[in-house]
Amino acid sequence: MKSLKGRDLLSMADLSPEEVLAILRLAADMKSGDTHVRCERVLGLLFQKASTRTRVSFSVAMYQLGGQVLDLNASVTQVGRGEPTIDTARVLDRYLDVVAIRTFEQKEIETFASYAEIPVINALTDLEHPCQVLADLLTIQEEFGALNGLTLTYMGDGNNMAHSLMLGCALVGMNVRVACPAEFMPDAAVVAAAQKLAGDRTDVLITQDAQLAAKGSHVVYTDVWASMGQESEAQSRVPLFQPYQVNAEVMELADPSAIVLHCLPAHREEEITDEVLEGEQSRVWDEAENRLHAQKALLAMILGVD
């Protein structure tokens, strides 16, 4: 449980395959009640974007560990009045034991981490969402028993979810396919990093062909077509993204045992149909619950609790 003690988690690529699996084992043991951990520490949540699941799951996780949480959103701190990141980082470093940050630019969280000695966790940036992917992998593991050799297909915008899923799947030996319109492909540097992590073990496929990507897949995953900060573009994107909707026809192409995941919130009848979201193959609500268990395990390991 001490392997991550004092470490930052800014990207899925900060973890080794063994560390990802260790987090998932601890999360499963905590969820089942086989392992109980106490951690009387203080977690700060420094969020500059709206949040439901991330905010609540981190808060409940820390409370269940026996610690406390301070909600440091911009409206109640000097961050909202333009205090520089480097100043905020050095002050909070002297008060808190760990901080989870949700912001826009990846560079901002990297700057914060470089000025703070306490562990810094990426609770979402425009580039990555690693905590969500830990919960996703836990959900897939619960369903299939093992991760190695499975295929996950992500359909939609080549955004932060696509990035962290590529890296996370590559780490645990899963094939990953990302199907996007040509104008919304994932970041080339992240694709290259995922391919390097995958090596010869698994495939990382980037395509515009949604049907090709879905064929035989064990996990079909989607996200909103316009992320936070892009809401003004939402309606103009619909025609481009319509071929990437997760619907009954797509699920017919997937493996018969396939499950559906969505990081939420969902825009029903846009990126996913109500029929699929509420259908027998959906594991979306288990996935949402697993944010709590995955993050509780992550906190315990980062704080080095015995």
What would the pLDDT profile of 5-32 be if each residue is shown by its tens digit? 999 999 999 999 999 999 999 999 999 9
Residue at 40 is within a domain: yes
Q: Identify the pLDDT of residue 203.
A: 97
Same domain, 176 and 211: yes
Same domain, 209 and 276: yes
CA distances, 206 to each of 144, 164, 178, 186, 252 (Å):
24, 14, 5, 8, 21
**Pick from 208, 285, 7, 253: nearest CA to 121:** 7
Asked if residue 159 lies in contact with residue 193, where contact means CB atoms within 8 angstroms, the answer is no
Q: Are residues 265 and 185 in the same domain?
A: yes
Which pLDDT value is given to residue 88? Answer: 95
Q: Tell me the residue range of the domain where 95 lies.
A: 12-128+291-302
pLDDT score for 1: 54
Same domain flag for 64 and 208: no
Residue 175, pLDDT score: 98
Same domain, 44 and 93: yes
* 57-63, long-range: CB < 8 A, 24+ apart: 57/291, 57/292, 57/295, 58/100, 58/123, 58/295, 58/299, 60/292, 61/292, 61/293, 61/295, 61/296, 61/299, 62/299
Residue partners of 58: CB distance under 8 A and separation at least 6: 43, 45, 69, 100, 123, 295, 299
4 located within any domain: no
Q: Which of 74-78, 142-146, 198-202, 211-215 has the lowest mean pLDDT?
A: 74-78
Task: Return the CATH number at 194.
Answer: 3.40.50.1370
Provide the H-helix boundaries in the chain. 17-32, 53-64, 85-92, 106-115, 130-144, 160-172, 188-198, 210-214, 234-241, 248-253, 274-277, 284-302
Q: Taking each helix axis as running N to C, give the angle between helix 188-198 and helix 160-172, from 0 to 180 degrees, rounded to the nearest 10.
A: 10
pLDDT > 90? residue 82:
no
In-domain check, residue 3: no
Lowest-confidence region among 146-155, 196-205, 208-217, 225-234: 225-234
Residue 253, in any domain of the structure = yes
Predicted local confidence at residue 7, as pLDDT:
97
- Are residues 150 and 271 located together in one domain of the fold? yes
C-alpha distances (whole Å) from 238 to each of 136, 155, 233, 267, 306 are: 26, 13, 9, 11, 49
* Residue position matching structure tokens 């909707």: 245
224 shares a domain with 146: yes
> What is the β-pairing status of strands 151-155 and 219-222?
parallel
pLDDT attached to residue 79 = 80
The rounded distance, in Å, linking the Cα atoms of 229 and 212 is 30
Mean pLDDT to the nearest integer, 67-83: 85
Catalytic residues: 102, 129, 132, 223, 263, 291
Spell out the alpha helix ranges (H) of 116-159.
Answer: 130-144
The pLDDT assigned to 2 comes to 56
Residue whose C-alpha is closest to residue 261's, from 196, 168, 181, 127: 168
pLDDT at res. 13 = 98
Average pLDDT, the chain: 95
Query: What pLDDT was estimated at residue 228?
Result: 66
d(CA 80, CA 234): 27
Q: Are residues 137 and 243 in the same domain?
A: yes
- Per-residue confidence at 4, pLDDT binned at 50, 70, 90? very high
224 located within any domain: yes
Give the pLDDT of residue 306. Answer: 65
Domain count, the chain: 2
Domain shared by 76 and 199, yes or no: no
Both 142 and 279 in a single domain? yes
Is residue 236 included in any domain, yes or no?
A: yes
My answer on whether 162 and 296 are in the same domain is no
The answer to whether position 7 is within a domain reads no
Q: How far apart are CA 258 and CA 216, in angstroms?
A: 8
Mean pLDDT of 48-63: 96
In a domain, 2, yes or no: no
Tell me, yes or no, whether 228 and 187 share the same domain.
Answer: yes
